Amino acid sequence: MTKEAAYSELVDRLKRAHVLGTVNGLISWDEQVNLPPDSADLRAEQLALMAELQHAAAGEPRIGELLETLERRCEELTGDQQVVLRCARRDYDRVVKLPPEFVREKARHSSEAFHAWARCKAASDFPGFAPYLEKHLLLARREAGYLGCEAAPYDYMIDRHDPGMTGAVIERLFGELKEGLVPLVREIVSSPVKAKAGIFRGFPVDGQRAFLRLVTERLGFNYRRGRIDVSLHPFCEGSGADIRMTTRFDEDNPLNSLFSAIHETGHGLYEQGMRLADQGTPLGQAVGMAVHESQSRLWENQVARSRGFWRFFERRFREEFPAQLGAVSPEELYLAVNAVRPTLIRVDSDEVTYNLHIILRFEIEKRLFSGTLAVADLPVAWAGLANDLLGLTPPNDRDGALQDVHWACGMFGYFPSYCLGNMMASQFWYKAQGDLPGLEDDFSRGDFARLLGWLRRNIHEQGRRYDTQELVKVVSGEPLKPAYLLRYLRERYLPLYRG
Amino acid sequence: MTKEAAYSELVDRLKRAHVLGTVNGLISWDEQVNLPPDSADLRAEQLALMAELQHAAAGEPRIGELLETLERRCEELTGDQQVVLRCARRDYDRVVKLPPEFVREKARHSSEAFHAWARCKAASDFPGFAPYLEKHLLLARREAGYLGCEAAPYDYMIDRHDPGMTGAVIERLFGELKEGLVPLVREIVSSPVKAKAGIFRGFPVDGQRAFLRLVTERLGFNYRRGRIDVSLHPFCEGSGADIRMTTRFDEDNPLNSLFSAIHETGHGLYEQGMRLADQGTPLGQAVGMAVHESQSRLWENQVARSRGFWRFFERRFREEFPAQLGAVSPEELYLAVNAVRPTLIRVDSDEVTYNLHIILRFEIEKRLFSGTLAVADLPVAWAGLANDLLGLTPPNDRDGALQDVHWACGMFGYFPSYCLGNMMASQFWYKAQGDLPGLEDDFSRGDFARLLGWLRRNIHEQGRRYDTQELVKVVSGEPLKPAYLLRYLRERYLPLYRG
């Protein structure tokens, strides 16, 4: 067999597993967007079966043979082919080390734990949820064991979401970040300048939909290969050939749906920025969740909370809602866009205090995996950390340890990605500004093409060529540093809140 | 292995193939309802791969072993189990006789032919489409050959949609029907009574949506296990656990969206009427397309064009659209609901002349398969038949032989089901009226539960227990006869059109 034939067959088989993955993604999207209330049992069966088939397709023995054939002649491959080979090997080894029974058991437990979480959250009943979380922790340790990572299961979980990242690196980065962040939050919160509450009332959904469509299309989202719908929690699903984003609408909070949509657009632009020809191969896949979040955050925060952005869109926003915005001054609007207010709920928080929510969760996960925190003691630990970091104490588990869905799905090591993504977004942002002088002036003209082109070349089209930390270094010339996020937050928020 | 264990494993494996089929159905629904315009290539890949996996799951050798084990002890099984065994054997033999390469080739050609058809229809270019149709005919003959039906490929295609039905039976039934139908149409068309055109203008879509929701819910559709959306051509997809119906809206033709929705509701009620526990086994599957159409047609025509139905819903319709219906008298409304007007386009036709469209297509298919009509001569044959049957000549291929999608998907032998379904609907209707005196009075009170219960017991819950013709006999006590459809049409239309 020639190496060309082997490589081409390998790519075909990777694409086959990818196509199954896209079907899985689509029916998950449909579950959140369209599912009739009593059809959940069938959907759970469909998802479990598709997970099994995807696992089987990704772990076909023939893929192993092709990898071996190609690895023997690795130096004859092109650079791109070597990237594909390296990543495919990594994925294959993981898949074949996980027994199908384990994959099924984890899928089933995730579904059960999800429904238990929804019930327990509604009842604010952490003890009811605790056994599901215990089992998820056991499954996570078992999974790490299959991969030979029993000594460092939390590092394994982190690496699953952000290849190359470790708990120790995150601990150092978050430590530095916290040191700068806590005084910054204190300064903003104690400022006499406050974003006015309750100035948005009665924004019809149709108008919100039209305005966010205008904005997200202008940012560069290609609606010929994607769409936006409504779900309880906004998310983005799919690959570049068909991206499904969601948002949610509240007539008294138009900025929420708008910024959710822009955030998801950032995810969508990343996926749409990879080459269609690379779809289904590691060159057409995201590095990991932190890099994904860096893209969503950069568009949501650095771009869409900037003066330049609002210089262009404010007039259009007012045209869509002339009566509703009649009494809101330009400065009140801009301050509302950049409101900072500590809250107990992560998803309701602003971009400054958001990072403290992540530091809290990282601290909890670390302790759970090191064995220094028992699941039963989690609410107490949560309350202590919330008090330390946010100055707030949750009145119940619903607004505390039960607020997020991630642990119900067994997603440990995922939370840090959000904050790492924020750091990366700032680091990329300063680099892009250096490379592209006058960038914010582009925004004032409604022109986002230079920024998008820069992100595509430097990040999107790289696929999985580099791991998380390598990519940051290649793009920005420096290792990941919290300093850029702190600088960005100070530059954006202190002038506003110093009045 | 005990027979209980073998039966239970068989059912598990049938359900597995069924679940894959439901995923396939869902992504097909999404293709019609949600697909972004440039995402069709990925969807074609997804559908082809899922078809392949479904074929593999339905043809697992283990299913063959289990069937043999159970067939040896067939007399020890319950009646229900014997039904499952008999149908599962039939399905299995068909699946394993079709080579996977053939399944893939047919799926690929269907996708290509579909897009070619869409192009050629837009350009009204039958010669451009002819090679695709030729290839579909070759594939159909090959498929019949794999199943040992090379001598009677058209009978094979008919049997695929309506088990037990043959071309000879249809020919006889359609001959009798035509004899009664042609003079009936002539009498109606020459009547001085005419439904007034253009009396419906400016019915907002939101109001139409609310009214059809009210109607379809009242008929018995369970929206906790289903939904209705919008697509170019209305259809119904899914199984009882999750039914997806569609309709389309035209502000100047509210009856079109309403009757489309009621038609699809009839399909949905059939699927929802089977027991959830039987889902994925032959006891939870429809007999075939003719029986399916009998359900959609019965609700659309016998029920929703009746005086009783409108006695209940007219007030509600007027409440939703007081201004638009202000100048429309009750009799004008009822005549609009029952307008008869020959047209070139099948999907725009009324329930009387509709059957002539089907007789035309059956005649064409018969000749194509017997070899007495070449594909190139199809438009001429079509024009001749349209003139004979409808008194109309298509001005172009778009309004003639290219109007329907079925042949582009290789669906031969499907058209007859529509007319067989109309016959069955009438035959069931008279039987139900005999069994349930005062049925139309129920409708006047908005009560459809007795009829639905009767259909469930007699038809829905039977699953595939009987083949098409057996079921008609079991339910109505007689073989399928066109006389009931003719009687129904005369009773409904002559009093109206005789003025």
Q: What is the pLDDT of residues B276-288, one digit of tens each?
A: 999 999 999 999 9
Token look-up 């289990």 returns B66
CB pairs under 8 A between A and B: 78
Q: Of these residues, A264, A271, A293, A300, which one is catalytic?
A: A264
Q: What is the least distance, in Å, from the CA of A359 to any CA of chain B?
A: 39
pTM listed for this prediction: 0.94
Q: At what angle do helices A289-297 and A415-435 cross, to 10 degrees?
A: 60
pLDDT value at position B499?
63
pLDDT value at position A169?
98
Q: What percent of chain B has pLDDT over 90?
A: 94
- Mean pLDDT for the stretch of residues A54-72: 97
The whole-angstrom separation of Cα A351 and Cα A293 is 13
Letter for the amino acid at B130?
A: A
- pLDDT tens readout for residues A438-459: 999 999 999 999 999 999 999 9
- pLDDT tens readout for residues A130-163: 999 999 999 999 999 999 999 999 999 999 999 9
Which strands sit side by side in the sheet containing A226-230, from one edge to the other?
A: A226-230, A242-247, A236-239
State the DSSP string of A255-282. Answer: HHHHHHHHHHHHHHHHHHHS-GGGTTSG
Write out the residues of chain B at the interface with chain A, using a CB-CB cutoff of 8 A: 16, 19-20, 22-23, 26-27, 30, 34-39, 41-43, 45-46, 49-50, 53, 222-227, 239, 241-242, 279
Burial class (CB in 10 A: 0-12, 13-18, 19+), A72: exposed
- Residue B220 half-sphere exposure toward CB, CA atoms < 13 A: 22
Q: Contact at 8 Å (CB) between B239 and B467?
A: no
Task: Name every chain A residue with its beta carbon within 8 A of the beta carbon of B42.
Answer: 19, 22, 239, 241-242, 279
pLDDT value at position B387?
97
A446 or A45, greater pLDDT: A446
Q: What residue spans of A283-414 are helical by DSSP H?
A: 289-297, 307-320, 330-337, 354-370, 378-390
The whole-angstrom separation of Cα B461 and Cα B270 is 9
For residue A242, give the nearest of B147, B30, B364, B148 by alpha carbon: B30
- A111: confidence class by pLDDT, cuts 50, 70, 90: confident
The residue count of chain B comes to 499
Q: What is the 3-state secondary structure (H, E, C) of A207-261?
A: HHHHHHHHHHHHHCCCHHHEEEEECCCCCEEEECCEEEEEECCCCCCHHHHHHHH
* Pick from A15-29, A38-52, B86-100: least confident: A38-52
Letter for the amino acid at A301?
A: N
The whole-angstrom separation of Cα A45 and Cα A63 is 27
Task: Name every chain A residue with its beta carbon within 8 A of the beta carbon of B39.
Answer: 225-226, 241-242
Token look-up 């027991």 returns B275
pLDDT value at position A435?
98
pLDDT value at position B112?
86
Q: Do A242 and B39 touch (CB under 8 A)?
A: yes
Backbone angles phi, psi at A229, to 5 degrees: -130, -170
Q: Which residues contact A445 (CB under 8 A, 6 or more apart)?
A: A312
The residue count of chain A comes to 499
pLDDT value at position B197?
87
Classify strands B226-230 and A242-247 as parallel, antiparallel or unpaired.
unpaired
pLDDT at A100 over 90: no
Q: Do B224 and A37 touch (CB under 8 A)?
A: yes
For residue B83, give the nearest of B454, B457, B460, B462 by alpha carbon: B462
Check if A264 is active-site. yes
- A499: confidence class by pLDDT, cuts 50, 70, 90: low
- Mean pLDDT for the stretch of residues A258-266: 97
Q: Do A27 and B27 touch (CB under 8 A)?
A: yes
Q: Of these residues, B143, B237, B264, B363, which one is catalytic?
A: B264
pLDDT at A115 over 80: yes
Kindly state the tokens that stand for B276.
Answer: 């959830």
The whole-angstrom separation of Cα A63 and Cα A12 is 10
Kindly report the average pLDDT of chain A as a whole number: 96
Task: Give the chain A residue whose CA is nearest to the CA of B22.
Answer: A46
Q: What is the least distance, in Å, from the CA of A128 to any CA of chain B?
A: 28
CA geometry: angle B411, B415, B416, nearest 5 deg: 130
Kindly state the tokens that stand for B21.
Answer: 């089929």
State the DSSP string of B393-459. Answer: --SSSTTTTTS-SGGGGT-TT-HHHHHHHHHHHHHHHHHHHHHSTTHHHHHHTT--HHHHHHHHHHT
The whole-angstrom separation of Cα B34 and Cα B40 is 11
For residue A1, give the nearest of A58, A68, A53 by alpha carbon: A68
pLDDT value at position B325?
97
Task: Name every chain B residue with its beta carbon within 8 A of the beta carbon of A50.
Answer: 23
Which residues of chain B carry a pLDDT beneath 50? none
- A108: confidence class by pLDDT, cuts 50, 70, 90: confident
Q: What residue spans of B321-414 are helical by DSSP H?
A: 330-337, 354-370, 378-390
Q: What is the least distance, in Å, from the CA of A417 to any CA of chain B?
A: 29
pLDDT value at position B31?
92
Task: Name every chain B residue with its beta carbon within 8 A of the beta carbon of A39.
Answer: 225-226, 241-242
Q: Do B242 and A23 touch (CB under 8 A)?
A: no
Kindly report the average pLDDT of chain B as a whole number: 96
Task: Name every chain B residue with its beta carbon within 8 A of the beta carbon of A25.
Answer: none
* Pick from A97-106, A118-127, A200-209: least confident: A97-106
The whole-angstrom separation of Cα B357 and Cα B359 is 6
Q: Contact at 8 Å (CB) between A26 and B27?
A: yes
**Which among B26, B49, B50 has the least Cβ separation from residue A30?**
B26
- A498: confidence class by pLDDT, cuts 50, 70, 90: confident
